[in-house]
Structure 1
Amino acid sequence: MKAKGIVLLVLVVMGLLSINWWGGKAPATEPPIKLKIATSTTPLSAPLIIARELELFKPYNLDIELIPLRGGHLCFQAMIQGVADLATSSETVIMFNGFQRSDFRLLASFVESDNDLKLLTLNDEQPKSITQLSDKKIGMVKASSSEFFADAFLIISGHQQQDFQKVFMSPQALGPALLAGDVDAISVWEPFGYKLIEEHGDTIYQYPGKGIYNLSFNLVTSAVNARLHEKQHADILRALKSAQNFINQHPQSAKQIISDYLDISLSELEWAWNDYVFRLSLNNSLISNLHAQARWAIASGAVDAQTTPDFRLLLDDSALKQALDN
């Protein structure tokens, strides 16, 4: 037994020596690249959540941390401040920030919805008309899709001449403000609208607004990171594409994952799920939407500017082209 052990040891040593003799090495495993994504705690972030929970980033040697925040406006700030490397954001947040800075890039849209924003008021059992909001207080989140939707609702419904007072607050404060009578109506995104209606039922009235505003949810990063991490961004988008395929092929499993991650009920998730279109894109319709919202922001006095930014300079499709190139 001892002789066999010695022979085996000699063979192992000779093997190691031969590796060194030929200059070979056991392949070293590169540590994964760590990136942080500020992620809005809404079902709109579903592809990112699915990709993270199913470890779809791992094949690309990426260690992705999702930083949950309540709203794309906070996610954008986290990215600009360096707390996160990338962020999720609606195009309205991008539009507002485009007036102030040009040091960020929009990499891709990954989901769209024409029914994510809600205009809600208290139900006093009287017939409802949008004209009743004239000279009233409407709660909304400043420099976000919430603010744009309130104005867009009135414009598209033919009541743009109405004068109302904008009351700015955090999204989580909108519902309590409405119930307390501090505001007469609120413009709020999901899942806050659902929670308010679910908890207070017929006390809440929802103005019919499906199709008034087509929201896109996007992935943004700094201009510097767009240059330094183009390959990693392409891989992130590839993982999102895989996540979107999973959502389309296994909708019930996908919804369960989102429900568990966001700690919301499946019934709450179902409330808006069918309004979502999951796909990667970066097209002219987004540019047109950004310019239309910018013109609104100038005309309404939401920004102190006379000309719209050239949003085409903020779009970087380099990573997207790689991700979609099969």
Structure 2
Amino acid sequence: MLLVLALTGLLSVSWWGGKAPAIEPPIKLKIATSTTPLSAPLIIARELELFKPYNLDIELIPLRGGHLCFQAMIQGVADIATSSESVIMFNGFERSDFRLLASFVESDNDLKLLTLNDKQPRSMTQLNGKKIGMVKASASEFFADAFMIIRGHQQQNFHKVFMSPQALGPALLAGDVDAISIWEPFGYKLIEEHGDAIYQYPGKGIYNLSFNLVTSAVNAKLHQQQHANILRALKSAQNFINQHPENAKQIISDYLNISQPELEWAWNDYVFRLSLNNSLISNLHAQARWAIASGTVDAQVPPDFRLLLDDSALKQALDY
């Protein structure tokens, strides 16, 4: 009897050679993630371990801004990056070796145009000939020009002063610039700390920002299945946000080390959904035409952004 059990055990270990099949180790991927609540689906998916069912070991690399995330991806520091469509647009003039996998959140109020409040009525004409601080080749730069155009002041001249997002607030307070174009949460922090000393120009709806996942062209092919599973995990995270908003906000608050009031400041402006559609292409081309007309880029013809879109992983994730 013991001999039979022993033989049965040996046969059950492996049909092919006497060893039990090894458990496949999880696939490790790094995502350069902008430290903004816009990255909420990624953060929640990581904190709730929503990647694990897909045998993925995802490391989030926190960076201050999508422009730095994009650079990290291009340099090979990260496999994937979060990025606004403005960063994608600017880089599309320079290179074609990356792919846009999906948009996962949108906001029409994430960018702010701020100046010092001198208790006088504020007018856009007061910025004529003035210095506006912004982050070069980012949504910050596009928003400043779009604001002027949409408000009917496209003929107004102002001087662009480029700096890091962290430096914009101090530069405004020191008088080195007359206004700044900045994304959240920097705008909130400046207003929270200095209150009535800061004036915010009304700008909701002027610019619809999308936050996207981008990767290299090589990785788009090499890790298509993994990218589809990442998007499935993000879809689950978005469902969690919609079903448990207070729990979701607490997770984001803890992860980013920001207060609940700071998070609430922009939270209701966010639309969490997976997409990759014609409106994004239209937005990219509109921004590219602006970049050419304004002389921001040295080009005559915009890139064909359709060639940079790869919806293979998204189609798998959405099962269509």
Alignment partner, residue 9 of structure 2: 16
Alignment partner, residue 69 of structure 2: 75
**Deviations for 1:102-148, whole angstroms, at most 9, x for unmatched residues?**
00000000000000000000000000001100000000000000000
Deviation at 1:163, TM superposition (A): 0.4
Q: 1:290 aligns with which of 284, 306, 320?
A: 284
Deviation at 1:12, TM superposition (A): 5.3
TM-score under structure 2 length normalisation:
0.97
Q: Does 1:314 align with 2:308?
A: yes
Alignment partner, residue 48 of structure 2: 54
Q: 1:165 aligns with which of 126, 146, 159?
A: 159
SS at match of 2:94: coil
Give the residue type in structure 2 aligned to 1:44.
L
Residue pair 2:32, 2:60 contacting (<8 A) in 1 also: yes
TM-score under structure 1 length normalisation:
0.96
**Deviations for 1:250-275, whole angstroms, at most 9, x for unmatched residues?**
00000000000000001100000000
Separation (CA, whole Å) in 2 of partners of 1:18 and 1:222:
45
Separation (CA, whole Å) in 2 of partners of 1:210 and 1:238:
31
SS at match of 2:149: helix
Deviation at 1:14, TM superposition (A): 3.1
Alignment partner, residue 3 of structure 1: none
Give the residue type in structure 2 aligned to 1:163.
N
Residue pair 2:26, 2:56 contacting (<8 A) in 1 also: yes
Change (3 A) 1:153 1:21: closer
SS at match of 2:121: coil
Residue pair 2:102, 2:314 contacting (<8 A) in 1 also: yes
Give the residue type in structure 1 aligned to 2:185.
P
Deviation at 1:18, TM superposition (A): 3.1
**Deviations for 1:266-307, whole angstroms, at most 9, x for unmatched residues?**
110000000000000000000000000000000111000000
**Deviations for 1:70-97, whole angstroms, at most 9, x for unmatched residues?**
0000000000000000000000000000
Residue pair 1:121, 1:178 contacting (<8 A) in 2 also: yes
Alignment partner, residue 115 of structure 2: 121
SS at match of 1:128: coil
Q: 1:228 aligns with which of 196, 212, 222?
A: 222
Alignment partner, residue 201 of structure 2: 207
RMSD between superposed Cα atoms in Å: 1.3
Alignment partner, residue 133 of structure 1: 127
Percentage identity across paired residues of the two chains:
87
Q: How many residues align?
A: 319
Q: 1:97 aligns with which of 91, 102, 106?
A: 91
Q: 1:182 aligns with which of 160, 166, 176?
A: 176
Give the residue type in structure 2 aligned to 1:320.
L
Deviation at 1:17, TM superposition (A): 2.7
- Which segments of 5 or more consecutive residues in structure 2 lack a partner in the other structure? none
Give the residue type in structure 2 aligned to 1:87.
A
Alignment of 1:103-114 (within 5 A): 103-114=97-108
Alignment of 1:300-311 (within 5 A): 300-311=294-305
SS at match of 1:279: strand
Give the residue type in structure 2 aligned to 1:321.
K
**Deviations for 1:164-195, whole angstroms, at most 9, x for unmatched residues?**
00000000100000000000000000000000
Change (3 A) 1:22 1:165: closer
Deviation at 1:15, TM superposition (A): 3.1
Structure with the greater alpha carbon radius of gyration: 1
Alignment of 1:263-282 (within 5 A): 263-282=257-276
Separation (CA, whole Å) in 1 of partners of 2:15 and 2:303:
60
Residue pair 2:106, 2:271 contacting (<8 A) in 1 also: yes
SS at match of 1:74: helix
SS at match of 2:133: strand
Separation (CA, whole Å) in 1 of partners of 2:205 and 2:72:
30
Separation (CA, whole Å) in 2 of partners of 1:21 and 1:126:
82
Separation (CA, whole Å) in 2 of partners of 1:79 and 1:207:
34
Alignment partner, residue 156 of structure 1: 150
Give the residue type in structure 2 aligned to 1:136.
K
SS at match of 1:212: coil
Separation (CA, whole Å) in 1 of partners of 2:14 and 2:171:
76
Give the residue type in structure 2 aligned to 1:31.
P
- Which segments of 5 or more consecutive residues in structure 1 lack a partner in the other structure? 1-6
Deviation at 1:21, TM superposition (A): 8.2
Give the residue type in structure 2 aligned to 1:157.
R
Residue pair 2:144, 2:181 contacting (<8 A) in 1 also: yes
